[in-house]
Each structure stands twice: as C-alpha cells, then as structure tokens.
Structure 1
Amino acid sequence: MVDLTALLADLAAESAQLDALVVALPPDAWRRPTPAPGWTIAHQIAHLAWTDHVARLAATDPAAFYGSVIAAPDPARLVDDGAAEFLAPSARLLARWRSGRTALAEALAAVPPGEKLPWYGTRMSATSMATARIMETWAHGEDVAEALGVTRTPTARLRHVAHLGFRTLGHGFAAHGRAAPTAPVRVTLTAPDGSTWAFGPADAADQVAGPALDFCLLVTQRRHRADLALVATGPTADEWLDVAQAFAGPPGAGRKPGAGRRAGARA
C-alpha cells in the first residue's frame, strides 16, 4: 500500500524546492524564457497552479471538473490556455500557486480510500494523483532551473517519478499511436544515493538500466535518449525509450539529440 500522507509530504517538499528558486526573483526575471517553447518562468508556475486547481476540482467536485473539460474551446490548447488563464503579476501568481497546492493537498487527503478521481482520458486514485503532481512539479522545476542556469541536486523523491515512468509504459506507446507491448520490461536504476531501484520482473528479457535521474528526464521528455546514459536491451525496451511519456495527453515534442538544456515539452 502506498502511504498518501508520505506522498503529500514529498509533494510539499518538491513544491518548496521550486518555490525557493522563484521566491526572490525580481518581476522581470519571471519573464525569462524556459526550454518549453513560448513559456516563461511565469508560465511554468501558472501551469502548475492551473493543474493544481483542476486536480482539486476532480477531487472535490467531479461535475465541475467535467464541466471545465467540456467548456474548453480547443482541447488541443488546454494546457496552454490553462497556463495563460492563471498568469498574473509575480507576487499574485506565487500566492495563488501556494494557496492552490495547499488546497489540493487537503482535498486529496480527504478522498475516501479506493475512490477514483476523474482526469483527462482516465481515472486515478488520490495516491496516483499525488504522484502525478510530484512528477509535474519536478519536471517543470527542471525547466525553471534550466532557465535560471541552476543545477538541482537529485533527491530520493525521484523514485515517485521513476515509478510513474515505469507504470506508464503502455501509455507512451498508445500516445504515439502504437500497439501496447506484450513483453514485460525490467527497469533497474541507480538512485541518487547509490542504491538500486528496480521495477518489473527480474527475469524479463527486455531491460532498461541507468541512472534514475536520466530515466526521469527521459519519461518527462526533458532530454533525448541520445543524451542520457540509459541502456536498453531487447526490442520492446529499445522502442519504449523513443516513446516514453509519464504525463497524460498527447505526446510532447520532446527534445532533439544534443539540445541539452534548451528545448522541452509541456506536460
């Protein structure tokens, strides 16, 4: 069983780490471009605030959540429109993100065990929603850090991102219009502290191995596989590294080989 309380604590810690990057920025720095085309630092925080808002709706008022989906003028622009809707002067935006993520944590903590929340194209438990929020906060935090020229130290919270990346193997194939694989894949990762994280059957013929940070950068489409120290063994594992996607929705543009810290995907 996954401990929701522990997940929410890690979500709060991940949010606090990103908060610390932006809290002292002057207003003009919030307009600095990030690796996601067309998005500034303000857009990144506005996106997180908007997603926290709709996630709270999903947890507290499913009818209102579905209503927001139906009312979207262009589903293909849902992410961009959501970020634009929540844009505001930096002090107001920061306050809105803080209050929104607190409200979301309270809402998720109150979800009855076993209840599934509506989401875009799926339904998920409160623990899955909290894990997804950790993944998004970390990934967009990477975009902000890159815009600021900051290299963040990986933490044990990456395990949540890595686990979600493993669990969404089939989604990555489906998002790219490919049949879901039938062969299992074993993922063996070196954690930030040097220990090993492993997912999937140990005797699987298809294997992915490498640093946990690199795997997380891949499944959030923050790096191209050619720029990462990940090794794929077997055809399913090899194809997966081309389509891996831990976030919901259509596939992002990803990054081109060698793009390093200057191109990205919106998730």
Structure 2
Amino acid sequence: MEPVERLYLDALMEDPAVPERSLRPQLLAGARARRRPAAPTAPWAEPYAGRVAAMDALLASAGEDDWSRVIVEGWTLQELVAHLAAKDGLLAASVGAPVLGPAIGATDSLGRTADVQNYERARSPEQTRRDWRAQADALCRHLADLAPGTVASVDGLDAPVSDQVLARCLETWVHADDAARTASLRLPHPIPEHIHPTADLCARLLPWTMLLSGLDGSGRTLLLTLTGPGGGEWHVPLGVADAAGGGAPDAHITADVVEFCFLLGGRGDPGSFPADLEGDLALAHDVLNTAPALSGP
C-alpha cells in the first residue's frame, strides 16, 4: 500500500545537528524493523489510521531518556501518549467501540487524561505505547462498519463521527510533530489524500472558532485558499447558521495548507501567521486570531 508506506519513517528528514542522546539512531534502524501498518478501517477514517501508524513508528525505539523527556503541556512523552489514548477512548465510548485502560470515570478530556496518565505511570513506557496503539486500532476496526454520519459526542460536542475522527487525526498529527521536534526530527507530512479532508474540517470549523471566541460572523463570508499538496479552495460562510452560497467574499486568506491545519491545532502565532490577506482585513485577522479556539492540550 504505497500511500500508507509514505507515512513511515523511511522518509525521515534529518536536521543538520544531531543533539547528544538523540533517539534518531535507534529510530531509523529500530522503527523500520518494528513498524506496523495502519489498522484496517473505513476509507473516511484512513487519515487518522495513517497518523497513528506514523506516531507508532516514531515511538518504536524511544529509549528510557526519551520517554521521560517533557514534550508539551508539561507532559513527558509517556504522559503525552496516555493523553492520546484517553481522548481516543472517549470517542470509542461514544460510538460503542471497545474502551481499553482504566474504567471511564471522568468523561471530559482533561479528566479522562488525568485518569489514564495516573494509570499509565505505574506501567512501563512500552506498555503505554502498546495500550495507546491497541486503543487506536480497536477504534479503527470499529469504524469500518460505522456510517460516517453517525453522531458522536466528545466533551459535549455532538458531530458526525467522520468529523470527530478527523479531529483525532489532527491532534495525533500535531502531537507526533511535537514529539519529533523535541527529538530534532521532522516527520514527513501525511499524503495529500489525507491532508485534504483534515484541511476541509479546519475550514468548516472557522465559524465555530469565531463564535467560541465571542465573534459572530453571521452574514460574512471568507474565501480560503490553502496551497500545497492536499490544499484547495473553500468559500466559508462565517455564521454557524449561515447556508453556503456564492457571491463575492468579504475577505480572502491564502496560506499553506499544513501551516493552516497546525494553526487550528494550536501551533503557531496567529499574529504572525504567514498568509496573504485581501478584502476586509479586520475580518481576515479575526478569522486567524480565533482559529486556534477549539485546540486544547
């Protein structure tokens, strides 16, 4: 499967300087030997399954020092992987898939994360990695027989399961990048066929990120042009109840598709985000400034 093979670390791009005690030497040898393909799932869930496989390849040969290194949010790599397992488990519970790890007590992301992290701290990092991958694979297999429009609820937000899974794809992608950057590695991006639906979700979230930030874009429209493999063009009505329509947009934003996805994922400074803006510049800046509103730890 050539598209899935593209997600593995064979294509790792190395930075010029290799820091002392980097996990790169083990990664390139060990991850290739121990990599596991993406779990079988529904076509619309393949972007998520691909990022799980890529993250797992990154983790395959992490050493003891790597697992205890702080990555983001004050979390070590082991705690970060437990966080991913926690959120995957909440989605699994919502759609009737198996939930692994401790029994669900807290049903919000932060509470469930704390429960799973406490559970995994008593286990080895390799056990945590296996727990997370088993949870992700169980979810993928369950999705194979699920209609994409099935409503799923995570953190009180009801949405089609296909959108919830794309949100899991984006978060897994962002956190895999967090872990790779901490180790001075750069993971290859997903294939364009996986980037495009993720970017589509990000575009459709813009009315909600504005509303969550206290701005109502009703009656205004944005032309969003995302460049690079997997990009495209979206005519976005900025009110959550607005119907899609034609006509001249009020503002136009042109940006790199990967950078835009990462902005929605909470990475990057909206104030200095590299984009070409046209039309109502105040509106365009409002869109960019509020874009990360739905991102969380």
TM-score (norm 1): 0.78
2:253 to 208, 226, 237: 208
Q: Are the counterparts in 1 of residues 88 and 139 from structure 2 also a CA contact under 8 Å?
A: yes
CA deviations on 1:54-83 (whole Å, 9 max, x unpaired) are 11100007xxxxx95xx539x694365255
**Matched residue, 1:191:** 228
Between the aligned partners of 1:85 and 1:51, the Cα distance in structure 2 is 15
Which protein, 1 or 2, shows the higher relative CO under an 8 Å CA cutoff with sep ≥ 6? 1
1:38 to 67, 70, 74: 74
User: How far did residue 7 of structure 1 move?
Assistant: 2.6
Q: Are the counterparts in 1 of residues 86 and 113 from structure 2 also a CA contact under 8 Å?
A: no
Q: Are the counterparts in 1 of residues 42 and 140 from structure 2 also a CA contact under 8 Å?
A: no
SS of residue in 2 equivalent to 1:168: helix
**Matched residue, 2:140:** 105
User: How far did residue 33 of structure 1 move?
Assistant: 1.3
Q: Are the counterparts in 2 of residues 27 and 89 from structure 1 also a CA contact under 8 Å?
A: no
Structure 1 or 2, whichever has the larger Rg, is 2
Write out aligned runs for 1:1-267 (5 A): 5-34=42-71, 36-60=72-96, 68=104, 71-72=105-106, 77-78=110-111, 80-82=113-115, 84-85=117-118, 87=120, 88-112=123-147, 114-155=149-190, 156=192, 157-192=194-229, 196-200=231-235, 203-233=248-278, 234=280, 235-245=282-292, 247=294, 252=296, 266=297
SS of residue in 1 equivalent to 2:86: helix
SS of residue in 1 equivalent to 2:42: helix
Between the aligned partners of 1:238 and 1:91, the Cα distance in structure 2 is 44
Between the aligned partners of 2:266 and 2:218, the Cα distance in structure 1 is 20
Backbone CA RMSD of aligned residues: 2.7
1:239 maps to a residue whose letter is D
User: How far did residue 27 of structure 1 move?
Assistant: 2.1
1:243 maps to a residue whose letter is T
CA deviations on 1:81-108 (whole Å, 9 max, x unpaired) are 2552453421101111111011111222
CA deviations on 1:172-210 (whole Å, 9 max, x unpaired) are 123323334431111101123xx7511115731211111
Between the aligned partners of 1:98 and 1:76, the Cα distance in structure 2 is 18
Q: Percent identity between the aligned chains?
A: 22
Structure 1: segments with no counterpart, 5+ residues: 62-66, 253-265
* Shift in CA distance, 96/197, structure 1 to aligned 2, threshold 3 Å: same
Structure 2: segments with no counterpart, 5+ residues: 1-40, 98-102, 236-245
TM-score (norm 2): 0.71
Higher share of residues assigned strand: 2
Between the aligned partners of 2:94 and 2:225, the Cα distance in structure 1 is 34
